[in-house]
Structure 1
Amino acid sequence: MTKPVVAGVDGSPSSLHAVEAASHEAAVRGAQLRLVHAFGRSSSHLPAGGPPWNPAGTGVRELLDGTLAAAERRARGVAPEVDITRDVTVGEPLTVLEIASRSASLVVVGSRGLGAFSSLLLGSTSGHLAAHGRCPVLVVRGRPRPAGPVLLAVDDSSASEEAVRFAFTEASLRGADLTALHVCRPGSPDVYDGPADPPFVTYDETHLREHAGRVLDTALAGREERHPDVTVVRRPVVGRVRHTLIDASADAQLLVVGARGRGGFRGLLLGSVSQAVLHHAQCPVAVVRHRGEGPGTAEGGEGDHP
């Protein structure tokens, strides 16, 4: 049986957009949609009159019912056939979503929210969810281009295998092309073993692009045969990672990135690049964590340098 798709709900416009995206994802997967609302003692958006940790308190139950009912209406407007459940949980939202991800195929959240959700994917919390989530996390932001491709940020390590697999599956489910992008940064340790980016070194851009092309070939090997319905475009690029990803996202319906890796994507969603992508990507972003790493081992990396 397909695991459910989980949507984080707080009643904000951003979370309602996330609910719509989650409903579509559940429909194409043939999965159940689980609407999750979490609140704790610090939830500033709960009304006065009852303890905020007690759903039976005055005004609280009505607020929660209204929030979840509105979310369900938005979901059914997208995919009326999807089976929907509601879940109100006491707890810190990141912890609740982390726990929910253990039995989900996908967690979908907005990029902005209310109360305890307001910083859900900003700052260090983005790294927390990417590092500790047990399934891919879809952050709904920007303006997706329905006719655009799924954009895959390809890494040159085994940690990106899950991201590659997820991107091919998404492209197949969406009936979209897949653009596989690898950015080779001048001074990358993969192609240069000397001091970091010394001013007197002249880089052979042709050599760097050839290296990026080999990385793409290795990462995609065997995947195209398994997904003959997906048209793949390879994009070996020389440049800065964050700028390249943000620019490329303008024409995409989804950007897929791995949460760990080496080379130009090291620490992609745990450092400076993560902030750039989550704040400035022009389409939704799917974060796929490497399953081979324990939740407590993911650490911030270098990101790309300005």
Structure 2
Amino acid sequence: MRPIIVGIDGSQDSEAALRWAAGDARRRGATLVIQYAIHTPVATVPFGGGMMLPPTPELEEYGTQILESAAGMVRDELEADRIRTELVVQPPVLALLSASEKAQLLVLGSRGLGAVSSAFLGSVSTRVAARAACPTVIVRAGQHRHDDGPVVVGVDGSDTGDAALRFAFEEAKLRSTGLEIVFAYHQPATMLPFEHAELAVEPSREDRERAELRLHEIVQRTLGDPPVDMVVRTRVSAVDPADALVAADESASLIVVGSRGRGAFTGMLLGSVSQRVLHNATTPVAVVHSGTSVGIRS
């Protein structure tokens, strides 16, 4: 079974990510790999390219201490033989993307300690979530914790939306909690002049019925008939998709979104919905790609 890998840097956000990852590793019966990256400055070679300086013994010792401390924090959650640590000499984004190739799940804090340290996160977390080879969960320190709340997922009929739904279903099963599936049919702004703004309209009953039918088709195509012992709720909402998901996070244990990536180059950026949910949600957020396998992988 592939491990769950969590990137840490000693910040409060990475501690929150560490504890969340340990809980998920316990539920999945997986090994937890705690990774710390040492990113040394790049030196410029005259008339040549750049080069990364080798880490000093002090940096290596500091990284080792961070990892030992992190492992100690989760020994009450997992057996010692299911906790591994890795000290990696590589830039943070590259280290995490490489880690995602061998993980069933990658877990990161929303931001790290900053450029002065080996800061794993901040803008790094967004860049990694956009390109990771496995689902990525972003955790923020001080977030609301509703471990018994439903897993909430946004769907839109796309490949990434379907992958997000499958991942959310697996997480809900692991947590023995409910699944809430949200389909938002936001009406695009019209080109009416300001003096006719009163004509810019409310969604019709027909719009809602079409949305409900579309949501039913998506669920049937992707999940079939859910188990009778799982509470599955579906909801259509005539608002912006990101707003619909963020509004649900007061009681959710996890929010799941598709990355909406569009190929190797544009895939460096997350879609606008997933970015807004990452920036505004108060619970952990999972970002899933259409090309990634989800669930428990061997």
Scaled to the shorter chain, the TM-score interval is 0.7 to 0.9
State the one-letter code of the partner of 2:291.
R
Aligned Cα root-mean-square deviation (Å): 2.6
Following TM superposition, by how much is the alpha carbon of 1:257 offset from its aligned partner in structure 2, in angstroms?
Answer: 0.5
Q: Runs (4+) of structure 1 moved beyond 4 Å? A: 116-119, 195-199
Q: Is the 8 A contact 2:112 2:122 kept in 1?
A: no
Q: Distance between the aligned counterparts of 2:20 and 2:4, measured in 1?
A: 10
Q: Count how many residue pairs are aligned between Structure 1 and Structure 2.
A: 269
Match of 2:155 in 1: 154
Q: Distance between the aligned counterparts of 1:121 and 1:227, measured in 2?
A: 38
Q: Distance between the aligned counterparts of 2:68 and 2:249, measured in 1?
A: 33
Identity among equivalent positions (%) equals 35
* 2:20 equivalent to 1:21: yes
**TM-score, length-scaled by structure 1:** 0.79
Following TM superposition, by how much is the alpha carbon of 1:150 offset from its aligned partner in structure 2, in angstroms?
Answer: 0.4
Following TM superposition, by how much is the alpha carbon of 1:10 offset from its aligned partner in structure 2, in angstroms?
Answer: 0.7
Within a 5 Å distance, the mapping from 1:70-219 to structure 2 comes to 70-80=69-79, 83-116=82-115, 118=119, 120-122=121-123, 125-141=124-140, 142-187=143-188, 199=197, 200-219=199-218
State the one-letter code of the partner of 1:79.
L
Following TM superposition, by how much is the alpha carbon of 1:227 offset from its aligned partner in structure 2, in angstroms?
Answer: 3.7
Q: Match of 1:38, SS? A: strand
Q: Match of 2:6, SS? A: strand
Which runs of 5 or more residues in structure 1 are unaligned? Answer: 44-51, 189-194, 293-306
Q: Distance between the aligned counterparts of 2:75 and 2:11, measured in 1?
A: 18
Q: Is the 8 A contact 1:149 1:254 kept in 2?
A: yes
Q: Classify 1:225/1:112 alpha carbon distance in 2 versus 1 (closer, same or farther; 3 Å).
A: same
Within a 5 Å distance, the mapping from 1:235-250 to structure 2 comes to 235-250=235-250
Q: Distance between the aligned counterparts of 1:34 and 1:128, measured in 2?
A: 21
**Cα displacement string for residues 123-143 of structure 1 (whole angstroms, at most 9, x for unaligned residues):** xx4553233210000011221
Q: Distance between the aligned counterparts of 1:60 and 1:126, measured in 2?
A: 22
After TM superposition, the structure 1 stretch with the greater mean CA deviation from structure 2, 136-145 or 111-120, is 111-120
Following TM superposition, by how much is the alpha carbon of 1:113 offset from its aligned partner in structure 2, in angstroms?
Answer: 1.1
Match of 1:282 in 2: 282
Q: Classify 1:180/1:197 alpha carbon distance in 2 versus 1 (closer, same or farther; 3 Å).
A: farther
Q: Distance between the aligned counterparts of 1:153 and 1:291, measured in 2?
A: 17
**Cα displacement string for residues 69-103 of structure 1 (whole angstroms, at most 9, x for unaligned residues):** 11101221222366111111111111111111011
Match of 2:230 in 1: 230
Q: Distance between the aligned counterparts of 1:197 and 1:80, measured in 2?
A: 63
Q: Is the 8 A contact 2:242 2:276 kept in 1?
A: yes
After TM superposition, the structure 1 stretch with the greater mean CA deviation from structure 2, 171-180 or 10-19, is 10-19
Q: Distance between the aligned counterparts of 1:229 and 1:82, measured in 2?
A: 33
Match of 1:297 in 2: none
Q: Is the 8 A contact 2:148 2:253 kept in 1?
A: yes
Q: Match of 1:3, SS? A: coil
Q: Classify 1:127/1:113 alpha carbon distance in 2 versus 1 (closer, same or farther; 3 Å).
A: closer
**Cα displacement string for residues 177-200 of structure 1 (whole angstroms, at most 9, x for unaligned residues):** 001011110138xxxxxx668844
Q: Classify 1:208/1:82 alpha carbon distance in 2 versus 1 (closer, same or farther; 3 Å).
A: farther
After TM superposition, the structure 1 stretch with the greater mean CA deviation from structure 2, 104-113 or 20-29, is 20-29
Q: Distance between the aligned counterparts of 1:286 and 1:150, measured in 2?
A: 10
Match of 1:303 in 2: none
Q: Distance between the aligned counterparts of 2:114 and 2:188, measured in 1?
A: 43
Following TM superposition, by how much is the alpha carbon of 1:67 offset from its aligned partner in structure 2, in angstroms?
Answer: 0.3
Q: Match of 1:287, SS? A: strand
Following TM superposition, by how much is the alpha carbon of 1:154 offset from its aligned partner in structure 2, in angstroms?
Answer: 1.1
Q: Is the 8 A contact 1:162 1:290 kept in 2?
A: yes
Which runs of 5 or more residues in structure 2 are unaligned? Answer: 43-51, 293-298
Match of 1:253 in 2: 253
Within a 5 Å distance, the mapping from 1:20-99 to structure 2 comes to 20-42=19-41, 53-55=53-55, 57-80=56-79, 83-99=82-98
**Cα displacement string for residues 249-293 of structure 1 (whole angstroms, at most 9, x for unaligned residues):** 11101000011189xxxx9x724434422221010000001108x
Q: Classify 1:227/1:260 alpha carbon distance in 2 versus 1 (closer, same or farther; 3 Å).
A: farther
Q: Distance between the aligned counterparts of 1:220 and 1:196, measured in 2?
A: 34
Match of 1:3 in 2: 2
